[in-house]
Structure 1
Amino acid sequence: MTPITEQSSLYDQLENKSVEELTNYINQEDQKVAKAIKEVLPDVNRLITAIVDKLNAGGRMFYLGAGSGGRLSVLDVIELPTTYGLPKGIYNAVLAGGVNRLVDALEEKEDDINEGWDVLVASGINSGDIVVGISASGTTPFVLEGLRKCRSLNITTGCIVSNPSTPIAAQADYPVVVITGPEFITGSTRMKCGTAQKMLFDMISTTVMIRIGRIEGNSMVNVNPINDKILDRAVKILMQKTGIANYSEAKSILLDHGTVKNAMVELEKKIN
Structure 2
Amino acid sequence: MLDDFLIRAALAGLGVALAAAPLGCFVVWRRMAYFGEATAHAAILGVALALSLSLPVLPMILTAALIMASAVSALTGRGYAMDTVLGVMAHSALAIGLVAVALMADVRLDLMAFLFGDILAVTRSDLLVIWAGAALVLTLMSWRWSALLAATLNPDLARASGVNPRREEFAMTLALAIVVAVAIKVVGVLLIAALLVIPAAAARPLVRTPEAMAVGATLIGMGSVLGGLWGALMLDTPTGPSIVCVAAFLFSAATAAGALLRKS
Tell me, yes or no, whether TM beats 0.5.
no
Structure 1-normalised TM-score? 0.26
- The structure whose Rg is larger is 1
**Larger relative CO (CA 8 A, sep 6+): 1 or 2?**
2
Give the structure with the higher percent strand.
1
Give the structure with the higher percent helix.
2
Structure 2-normalised TM-score? 0.27
